[in-house]
Chain A
């Protein structure tokens, strides 16, 4: 069975500093990896995905993520955090023929 782990319930970072939100996965075959963001009282919004190709994926709002097959990781990163980035972030994994499995979410708090 496929699974996703987001080991940190919350990540705190100061505005202007780089941020990393961690995600590791377990899946058979080649993985499809996604990051979504959820703002308060809103649905999940797509940030970026890795299907194949370049291991570094660039997405919306200046976010990027790096696919690391050997470490089965897909960490979300941003060089300079904004207060407006504060939200709940979800990593998800799937593969051909299988539904997406979402992680438990990581709350990102960016302080001025």
Chain B
């Protein structure tokens, strides 16, 4: 039973390019969450999605960032026109259900470096 998968594990982009980060949830999980972790800091919630719906995007920057979780395929976190401050580890998590009694399982993360 494969865990949460993220790719790529490492991504290098130049300023102004686009970054696309992919997350495949665990089998049977229809809830996906994205987090960002800056060096030496805790994780910061970005967005929560169910299939084809964004449920909570309160942690997403208002510009350049978007997320989707289509009916088929992985969830995608897209960062347009990246800047150096976007350099961070981006973690995806999935859960079977919503609410307080469903633990989240995290992927290994994508480390984005913006040159």
A and B bound? no
